[in-house]
Amino acid sequence: MSLTMRNYASYFTYKEYESDVDSGVVRFRYELGHLGKKYEFTEVLSFPSPPHGRNVRPEDTTLHAILDSLHIILGISYWKLTCPRDIRVLSQQLNEKQATFWNTVYTKGLGEFFYKNSIDFRGLVQFPFIRRTIDTPVSKITTDRSLVLLGSGKDSIVSAELLKKAGKIFSLFSMNPRLVHTETAGLIGKPLYTIHRAIDPKLFELNRKQGMYNGHIPITAITSLVGVLAAHLYDFRYVISSNEQSANFGNVDYRGSQINHQWSKSYEFETLFGDFVREFITGDIGYFSLLRSFTELHIVKLFASYSQYFDVFSSCNKNFKISQTDQPARWCGICPKCAFVFLLLAVFLPKEKVVSIFHKNLFADEKLISTYKALLGLEGIKPFECVGTPQESLYAFSRVVEEGRYNDDVVVREFLPDIVSLTKDKTISSGKLFGLSGENHIPPEFAQVVQNL
């Protein structure tokens, strides 16, 4: 390679991080080289109430193991600007199993990003490693408390209510909480722990620059690992997510792989991440999804009995855009997520209540017909949103049609002639949609929480 070509080669470096947990600040530093230019980034995690005690000693190996891993996962936002093959890790030395884990998280977690940007991802992500064994650090947490990841939507609310009913001791956790999180936590009646993530502003500038890539990242992978950090700092035994069975269903095949918008909510990720935490961070913090055995339909059926949350919760992702500074409406009423949640709630709640939650009858909006066709699997691909399977949507639509409350609305009228035959052709079983799948990582002491539902 010539000197000129070498100067212009793209690379990405995980430089170092600086932690001052007593003051509640960790700074992660990165460097991107591209077309002869060098871009430096600093991402900051901060804790509003800094912890004190045995977990923040300088020799706290578990804390360092968590921060090492956070340095890698937080860097995904900056690496994807140009997706360079040359990856350099200065803050730590990965072994082969760790490198393989991060290769998988980047490759599958960025699947939608690769698809939408027409990037050939095969063999692209190759973290460097050395051949060595790593002793698993142990944090020796003595409590049995759990930390529930609070997304302010129906799923985490159902988890919290089930845990309360079972008498479990738990608190809530949100990264970059908004009003919807604090209001939801207030109704749940449990303490809310928070960590703030500040992305380097230069990232947003470069996202708008020609020649730089932009797109979806596996945010649940980030939230889960930040949740493990909070669990260690504040002495929690478990980090509990609320990811459902339906998240395993992908969107489209691309270059020989299934692309799944919700990959970091899938059972595959839950398994890989849980194993990674046990082997390379600590055996004393467990990560699992309480709702893994449930479909979206089943979760909404349970949620429909918690009326105290109807005016507060929001599952619309427009509430959670990182670059957003204003407080949006709880429901945009136009995205696939809103359309899907409206459809499922329409099965279990009176029409007036559903319309009052969204401040709009989404079935009366003809612009959403194509969105519902995609949700039903009749047109295009499953939307790149956190929505359920086409089978769930078909079942819900058939129930809506049977009950007849929306049959005069334009969206439902569109599907009236075909919905009965469609559901028969798909042989949709309510038993499967409302039964419990056997795939989960729920510890034995939590098994009774989700039994007989």
**SS3 state of residue 170:** strand
Does residue 327 carry a pLDDT above 60?
no
Question: Cβ neighbours of residue 403 under 8 Å, at least 6 residues apart?
Answer: none
- Between 56 and 411, the more confident residue is 411
Angle at 385 between CA 359 and CA 118, to 5 degrees: 140
- Between 136 and 54, the more confident residue is 136
- Residue 212's pLDDT is 95
Reported as a pLDDT band with limits 50, 70 and 90, residue 67 is: very high
Question: Cβ neighbours of residue 304 under 8 Å, at least 6 residues apart?
Answer: 345, 348, 349
**Where are the chain's structural domains?**
3-289, 296-314+327-434
The 10 Å Cβ neighbour count of residue 182 is 15
Residues 430, 391: contact at Cβ < 8 Å? no
Q: Which helix (H) or strand (E) holds 88?
A: strand 86-89
The whole-number average pLDDT for the span 380-393 is 94
Would you mind telling me the total number of residues written for the chain in this entry? 453
Q: Rounded to an integer, what distance in angstroms lies between the CA atom of residue 38 and that of residue 11?
A: 9
Condensed to tens digits (0 to 9), the pLDDT of residues 160-218 reads 999 999 999 999 999 999 999 999 999 999 999 999 999 999 999 999 988 899 999 99
Does residue 323 carry a pLDDT above 90?
no
Q: Count the alpha carbons within 13 Å of 100 in the hemisphere toward its beta carbon.
A: 8
pTM of the model: 0.93
The 10 Å Cβ neighbour count of residue 210 is 4
**SS3 state of residue 293:** coil
The 10 Å Cβ neighbour count of residue 179 is 13
Reported as a pLDDT band with limits 50, 70 and 90, residue 3 is: very low
Q: Count the alpha carbons within 13 Å of 316 in the hemisphere toward its beta carbon.
A: 20
Residues 19, 43: contact at Cβ < 8 Å? no
Q: Rounded to an integer, what distance in angstroms lies between the CA atom of residue 450 and that of residue 124?
A: 41
Closest CA to 28 of 157, 191, 161, 198: 198
